[in-house]
Structure 1
Amino acid sequence: MSTPAGESAGNGRRIITVTPNPAVDLTYHVDGIIPGGSHRVNTPLSRAGGKGLNVARVAHQLGSTVLAIAPAGGSSGAAFAAELAASGIPHRLIPVRSETRRSIALVDDVSGHTSIFNESGLPLEPAEWQALAAAVVESLSGDDGHLAGVLVGSGSLPAGAPQDFYSALVKLAHDAGVPAIIDTSGPGIIAAARAGADLLKPNNHELTEAMGQQDLAGAALQLIGLGARRVLVSTGADGMMAFDAAEPDRYWHARLPEPLNGNPTGAGDAAVSAAAVELANGVIDTEQILRAATAWSAAAVLMPGAGEISPRYSELADQLIVSYKELP
């Protein structure tokens, strides 16, 4: 009998997340947005964010051992570092010269829609990229007494980033004998597939854009054909699809009976966090990973900001409708 992701039956191996383009996340809640109008808002929720930070935050919330690695710089980077220190999440920040970017989420509590405004990340210097890579290698070594269970690389890349950044992360993980999860878009997801990533987690828009076709199953199978071992595809209110290289003739689909209302900003990151916990605990069953990822993703929608999930995740997991679909 399997133990739900997030409960204390794991092997204690550490989830390492790498966020090359972090942000100070600001979340505003607004009682209705009028285009061109003036709106009075309360003080925003401010957090150290970026996709990998959100992954680590969720896993840490549910008791997993984590280490979040990211660059941080400037006055915004100081605010980023202060919030992260206050959160209690184990982390390692690489000092950089560039200002850490900001991301703003406007949650319309009337319509239920969320609008996101992401600043572009500023370039890092070559020595700073080298320091980031060195921190990853050191964290995977286990020299600090923490055995690595999975390496997660998440998010966009700042301008001028090495094109092989995510494929290099996959290689570092495999050299250390641990699985690699990559959640990114564009050429980075293709490179990670070619490197043999153990799990890729695009959303439907990222997948079709990267692969140049609208058929989600066909696009996911292209990533499998390039070398990815598993692909999870989030499709918003329609749930999530899972593809496994070991069973190329079918895929799984999981969804709730009814969509949830809330803030979907960190839903994809919560899904990655669930997958990371499962892989770190030695789970290789794709359906089990899909169930955990879908439930955690849904539970994130019920929370006000990215990087946390509702305690209802177990209840939501029990409500999932999971189907198996044969591929032509």
Structure 2
Amino acid sequence: MGGDHGVKQETTKTTPPRPILAVCLNPALDMTYSVARLLHGNSHRVGHPLVRAGGKGVNVARVLQQLDQPVRLLGFAGGPDGKSCTQDLKAGGLPSRLVPIAESTRRTVAVVDAADATVFNETGPTISASEWAAFMEAFRHEAAASRWIVLSGSVPPGVPPIAYQQLISAAHTVGARCIIDTEGIPLRKSLAANPDLAKPNVHEAAALFGRPLRGIPEIRQAAVELRQLGAKTVAISAGSTGTVLVSEDGAWHAKPQRRYQGNPTGAGDALTASIASGLNRDLDWPTLLREATATATAAVVAKTAGEIDEATRHKAMADIVIEEI
């Protein structure tokens, strides 16, 4: 080929894929305790907690790393707990840029027993106007080097309610595309910026519309309405009921044929990460949904949020039923 076009072969270079940017506005130092059975009002003896950097965006970045996708993490960090998060991310080899803040990074506590997980989430530090301005500057730089951006999790105090709307608009300005995974006012306001994909869970979508969503037809209708509000594609996750995705190309429902026991805390984040991976590889929607549902299943059986069990993911891939609806 080089000879045909007068270009020396040794000067030909392959452009490396652009990383997926995972944004975590409210990271946390996650502490996970394991007990045989959680009993309300009782005292529980526990071993050493598993302590690591967390938050929805961090969980997404960790799963993308396990899926062999190029990824970078952008967030805030402050105080001793912020320092612990920074050290943990560095030890895990996750490329990160954490904007320094005056107040301390929050903590979350998860108590996991054989049946389920109970999670306690602190609100988070208050972000000053100057800290938010520094974050926006860092975001513009990172977005320019990214093809897909995942914006997930809660918005800490001090950050404007239209934060995600601002970030999506800034990303679109430099040609990057965005996945939004949040709830409440931040989700509603983000839709005005036309995110490329919105991924609420069924409870978040129900809260947004002020009505229960029972069954696949009602979940599908909610996804249609989210598209009407501005999202280009919508995926609504509903636990063991599966995930409904509606795009301009059609609508699908993906569901595992059997239920897996474990810690469901990070399953939604794993689903979001796999969706980003599939979009970054230009997969068709049914294939992307199959991979994403299997990845979420693999997160349930993993020990902690931000991890997937690869053997379970491989087994579950053949266990997913994809139905056009």
Q: TM-score, with normalisation over the residues of structure 2?
A: 0.90
Aligned residue number for residue 255 of structure 1? 255
Amino acid across the alignment from 1:37: N
Pairwise CA distance, 1:122: 2.0
Is the aligned partner of 1:26 residue 2:31?
yes
Aligned residue number for residue 203 of structure 2? 205
| SS of the residue 2:318 aligns to | helix
Aligned residue number for residue 309 of structure 2? 310
| SS of the residue 2:65 aligns to | helix
* 1:304-328 Cα distance to aligned partner (Å, 9 max, x none): 1011111131321111011122xxx
Separation in 1 of the partners of 2:211 and 2:40?
Answer: 33
Is the aligned partner of 1:91 residue 2:101?
no
Q: TM-score, with normalisation over the residues of structure 1?
A: 0.90
Pairwise CA distance, 1:11: 6.5
Q: Decide whether the 8 Å contact of 2:298 with 2:310 is kept in 1.
A: yes
In terms of mean alpha carbon deviation, does 165-174 or 64-73 score higher? 165-174
Aligned residue number for residue 169 of structure 2? 171
Q: Decide whether the 8 Å contact of 2:151 with 2:180 is kept in 1.
A: yes
Aligned residue number for residue 226 of structure 1? 229
How much is the aligned-residue C-alpha RMSD, in angstroms?
A: 1.5
Separation in 2 of the partners of 1:303 and 1:255?
Answer: 19
Residue from 136, 139, 148 that aligns with 1:136: 139
Q: Decide whether the 8 Å contact of 2:258 with 2:319 is kept in 1.
A: no
Aligned residue number for residue 321 of structure 2? 321
| SS of the residue 1:188 aligns to | helix
Amino acid across the alignment from 1:263: N
Separation in 1 of the partners of 2:324 and 2:67?
Answer: 29
Aligned residue number for residue 193 of structure 2? 195
Q: Decide whether the 8 Å contact of 1:149 with 1:281 is kept in 2.
A: no
Separation in 2 of the partners of 1:44 and 1:171?
Answer: 40
Pairwise CA distance, 1:140: 2.1
Amino acid across the alignment from 1:306: A
If you compute each CA radius of gyration, which structure gives the higher value, 1 or 2? 2
In terms of mean alpha carbon deviation, does 90-99 or 251-260 score higher? 251-260
- The answer for unaligned runs of 5 or more in structure 2 is 1-14, 213-217
Pairwise CA distance, 1:86: 0.8
- The answer for unaligned runs of 5 or more in structure 1 is 1-9, 143-147
Is the aligned partner of 1:62 residue 2:67?
yes
Q: Decide whether the 8 Å contact of 1:15 with 1:66 is kept in 2.
A: yes
Separation in 1 of the partners of 2:188 and 2:281?
Answer: 27
Q: Give percent identity, aligned residues only.
A: 39
Residue from 13, 16, 20 that aligns with 2:21: 16
Separation in 1 of the partners of 2:262 and 2:195?
Answer: 31
Pairwise CA distance, 1:217: 2.4
Separation in 2 of the partners of 1:92 and 1:22?
Answer: 12
